[in-house]
A and B are shown apart, each in its own frame.
Chain A
Amino acid sequence: MVALRVDTHVFGRAGRCPTFGNGKGGQVCADRVRGNESGTVRHSADAGGGRDPVTGEAGAAPVRVTLRQEHHRLTVVLAGEWALERATPRFNRLVDDRPRDGEVHAVCFETAGLGAWDSSLLTFLLQGIDYCEAHDLEFNEEGLPVDVARLLTLARAVPEQDLAGEEGRISPVARLGRTGLSAYRGFLASVTFAGEVVDSSARLLRRRARFRWRDFWVVVQSNSSGALPIVTLIAFLVGVIIAFLGAVLLRRFGAGYYVSFLVGYGMLREMGALMTGIIMAGRTGAAFAAELGSMKITEEIDALRTLGISPIDHLVLPRMLGLFAMMPLLTIYAAFVGIFGGMIVAVALLDLSPTQFVGGLLTAVTLSDGLLGLFKGTVFGLIVGLAGCMKGMQTGSDAGAVGRAATSAVVLGITLIIAANAVVDWLAALMEV
């Protein structure tokens, strides 16, 4: 009968031995060497020489864990230098993998050979405490250095305050309900916000609200000269794309001449407003959300509120009106740039002269097409301004909140623009515009 069983594990050197277990807690090397010395079973793991795995320096004593079982007591002998940057053992795996020899009721420690140690030792011991709790064992910390025992006590101290709002797992039904409720609340908040903006505009018209002209002009500037380069580029390319599409398709029927119809209709009725709206959602909508969001986080909006100044009058309205004023102009501009792009393709690919192109265009499109595009641009401007300002004003208070606000302003803006485009097109078809 074996009275005493000893298993030794040496850790801390990466390299030539296969990973033990699934290699979770770093590289733990263990070669099993089993010997029988006068009734002792040694279960050891060693990977040779005392070399630091990170620095490659020789000298630091390797982490050595020896498990010794006497009757129902498992003694864990800790030795070597424990450092976070070296591979350290996992308590459960060590204990579970040791050769079984009867039941264990208590775990205690011997630390005579323990050198320098850091959090890696504490982590190992905390794993031990968890393991003992899970398996109903006594965790005897008498053998541990006083400092270690003290830190373990600190780490296990019960927080003095109950975590607020902490709940157990909630059922999928409850989660669905909560999601629904929060979506409903979000919808209500949007409607309220839109209402406040309308109310504020009404007050402005009745000259009851003070208007910040400075913010208005800043927005006008950033959406005129500031936005022109990107609008020019995108609108030009969209015009080119429509013309290419038309050229390829219409040439097959010998109707290449009609490419001007396509470009004219496409840019004036649809793409001019749509592309400008999308650019503005990504550019200005995101900027509004980020500006207002960071003002919310730094309590600048609260500071307005406690002065009795409505942040809607003061911050939202100048931005929305600035965009509202500029969007129609940008839309017309985009449509013309797009038509110009289409004309270049038509001239180059279809041997049409610019005069023929413009002539065809003018027979096809009417003023109402241009007005429809203009109307759409105006609506999209309102949508972008509303989405950007609303998401900004609803920003949370953590570090990532401003980023999320800007992102959701863009997503909401683009989604609403496309939805509104569909609705306006449908109405236009009904009214035969």
Chain B
Amino acid sequence: MAAPRPERVAGEAPPVEVRNLTMAYDSFVVMEGLSFQVWRGEIFVIMGGSGSGKSTLLKTLIGLEKPAHGQILFDGEDFGAADGKARKRMLRRMGVLYQNGALWSGLTLAENVALPIEEFTSLDEESIADVVSLKLALVGLRGFESFYPATLSGGMRKRAALARALALDPEVLFFDEPSSGLDPVSASRLDDLILQLRASFGTTIVVVSHDLASIDKIADRALFLDIKRKTMTALGSPDDLRENPPSEEVRRFLHRSCEGVP
């Protein structure tokens, strides 16, 4: 990518900030001591092995799981402490693409994309239909308005779900394993779409992934969750991390190697 790498803007609160976060199920600690900032317009990848807590971290970031300890801040505002209206306002600024799309199966694609718009704006039906068509066209699904999710392929379903995530022009987009379940071509197409979104809208994007090809293609910076140490052990651009891996686990992960694994 020729685009300059986003950097921390001085004096501005980062769109996403995590402070000393611990995630746990009852007494079982998944990850602890996570602290990082995601900068505006950045594509930030959370990587790690299966079961390392990547998806749990994502769920915590978007408020589906409560952190056992620590804070999550959006634009400097504490997400955990926000209630009612404030929380809804913060949620409105983010979009989430779930691993399997999570489109509402009882609604058509158009209704899926329209629902968040109906919920948060007072646009009339005609304007909503226009916005919906635009969003579907952006992800290459022009003309699929009246289709139900079950009739689409996995790749189309994910793109439709992306259109829904884009419905309210989010400032931060979260992706849960965007390439999972997709063939290499569809996965690469989704990566292109992610890059294009960032280039056109300057959206801050947080991606959970363990797909190396995708990480190399899209990530500005990546965070590595170490399952054994139960904390983050690396943060940096994938190239830097590959050249100077801070730990053996990071080296193995980025070189796709199982050498020396007991």
Contact = CB atoms under 8 A, between A and B. Distances in A.
A285 B230 CA distance: 42
A307 B91 contact: yes
Contact size class for B?
Answer: 20 to 34
Contact of A306 (B51, B63, B100): B63
Nearest to A162: B228
Contacts of B118: 210
Interface string B84-115: 00011001101010111011110000000001
Interface-centre pick from A164, A300, A307 (highest chain B CB count, 10 A): A307
Contacts of B92: 307-308
A308 B88 contact: yes
Which are the 4 A-B pairs with shortest beta-carbon distances? A299-B102, A308-B91, A308-B88, A303-B102
Given A308-B91, A308-B92, A161 B227 contact: yes
Nearest to B96: A306
- State the majority secondary structure of interface residues on A: loop
Nearest to A164: B28
Contacts of A164: 28
B2 interface: no
B116 interface: yes
B91 A306 contact: yes
B125 interface: no
Given A160-B262, A306-B63, A300 B104 contact: yes
Contacts, number: 58
B119 A309 contact: yes
Contact of A160 (B94, B105, B261): B261
A99 B164 CA distance: 75
Contacts of B115: 307, 309
29 contacts: A158-B262, A160-B261, A161-B227, A161-B228, A164-B28, A210-B118, A210-B119, A298-B102, A298-B105, A299-B99, A299-B100, A300-B102, A300-B103, A302-B59, A302-B98, A303-B98, A303-B103, A305-B63, A305-B64, A306-B62, A306-B91, A307-B92, A307-B115, A307-B116, A308-B88, A308-B119, A308-B120, A309-B116, A309-B119
Given A303-B103, A308-B91, 6 more contacts: A161-B227, A298-B105, A299-B100, A303-B104, A303-B164, A307-B120
A229 interface: no
Contacts of B228: 161
Interface residues of A, number: 19
Interface of B: 28, 51, 59, 62-64, 87-88, 91-92, 94, 96, 98-100, 102-105, 115-116, 118-120, 164, 227-228, 261-262
Given A160-B261, A161-B51, A306-B63, A299 B98 contact: yes
A406 B105 CA distance: 19
A370 B51 CA distance: 59
A227 interface: no
B96 A303 contact: yes
A174 to B, nearest CB: 14
Interface string A321-343: 00000000000000000000000
A303 B157 CA distance: 14
B100 A298 contact: yes
Contacts of A304: 104
Contacts of B94: 306
A23 B260 CA distance: 44
A186 B133 CA distance: 44
A133 B253 CA distance: 36
B102 to A, nearest CB: 4
Nearest to A215: B106
B91 A300 contact: no
B91 A302 contact: no
A161 B51 CA distance: 10
Nearest to A157: B262
Given A161-B51, A295-B105, A306 B64 contact: yes
A331 to B, nearest CB: 28
A165 B115 CA distance: 40
A157 B120 CA distance: 54
A309 B88 CA distance: 8
Interface in A263-312: 295, 298-300, 302-309
A298 B150 CA distance: 12
A394 to B, nearest CB: 15
A338 B174 CA distance: 57
A295 B59 CA distance: 17
A160 B260 CA distance: 11
Contact of A300 (B64, B105, B227): B105
Interface-centre pick from A295, A302, A304, A306 (highest chain B CB count, 10 A): A306
A302 B104 contact: no
A227 to B, nearest CB: 20
B28 A302 contact: no
Contacts of A299: 98-100, 102
Contacts of B100: 298-299
A5 to B, nearest CB: 41
Interface in A145-172: 157-158, 160-161, 164-165
A306 to B, nearest CB: 5
B187 to A, nearest CB: 19
Contacts of A295: 104-105
Contact of B28 (A161, A165, A303): A165
A337 B262 CA distance: 73
Nearest to B174: A306
A159 B59 CA distance: 27
Contacts of B105: 295, 298, 300
Contacts of A308: 87-88, 91-92, 119-120
Contacts of A157: 262
B231 to A, nearest CB: 16
Interface in A344-367: none
